[in-house]
Amino acid sequence: MKGLLVAGLVVVVVIGTASMAVAQNVPWQTGSGNAPAAAGAAATGATASGAAAPATGTDATGLDPKIAKAVKPVEDQIAQAEKVMKLYNDEMAKPDDKRNVGTANGYKMSAARFYLAAALKAKNVGAQFSKAEDKQTILDQFEKPNREKAVQLFLELADAAHQKKDLNSAVSLYKQVLTIDPQNAAATAGLKQIDDEAKAAKAGGTGPKSSGASGTSKDFIPGTNIPSDFGQTGRPNTSVDYGKTNRPGGPKIP
């Protein structure tokens, strides 16, 4: 009986020792004992040693850093355009008796020019990249949307000039649109309508005559009616591309 008790105690001691050994060999019990911390670090994107996770290859905007750096001048032009558009919106928000439409149109013209400059810069920046996907990213995110904004603003100014019977300014602005977007249906239709009206007027009909010499065109000529406090922040150079931007009959873009 005594022998059985001794043998039982030996078995208990052996099992307990083995259990301790197994417990000590569990991964998070060995070494520094920080595996749970490592798991938590993995969840937060850091390594167990506290080092930052590898970069994803994009900046906060989701752009490749080299693209983000290259398009900085483009973003500067966009910022200028948006600043001027705010001035336009502020002017148009004034009561009718305090609103200066000529000033507002001057702001809109400047904004259109800045958007066009941004599109041109984006086109030039895109040409500097060798990868097709990089080029396309720049065109999709910076060239196309700003080109379309410029076209829309030029069209609005052209339509406004047309409504005021300022046909010289309207024709110039419609032509400006067509230098940017040769297939633009609205600009083409606007020019055709003006041509039809001019033919009717020449034939002695009731069509309107151009008021180009009446002084009303100053409200729509690029760069006019911009208050001195605007500071003439610098007219964008938009004569680089999009056809012959400064061709005869179209508004000059310095």
Exposure class string for 117-140: b at 16+ Cβ within 10 A, else e: bbbbbbbbbbeebeeeebbebbbe
Would you state the pLDDT for residue 91? 94
Report the sign of the C-alpha dihedral through residues 114, 235, 87, 156, in that order. negative
DSSP letter at 252 equals -
Residue spans per domain, the chain: 65-230
Q: Residue written as tokens 């873009």? A: 253
Q: What is the largest CA-CA distance in the chain?
A: 137
Helix 144-163 × helix 72-92 angle, to 10°: 30
CB 208 within 8 A of CB 216: no
Neighbours of 184 (CB within 10 A): 17
CA distances from 88 to 39, 84, 100, 158 (A): 55, 6, 10, 16
Would you state the pLDDT for residue 16? 54
Within the chain, which residues score under 50 in pLDDT? 5-6, 11-14, 21-23, 25-56, 209-241, 243-254
Question: What tens digit of pLDDT does each residue of 136-163 get?
Answer: 999 999 999 999 999 999 999 999 999 9
Would you state the pLDDT for residue 245? 39
Residue type, 49: S
Residue type, 200: A
* Stated pTM of the model: 0.62
DSSP β-bridge partners for residue 46: 52
Measured distance CA(82)–CA(93) in Å, rounded: 16
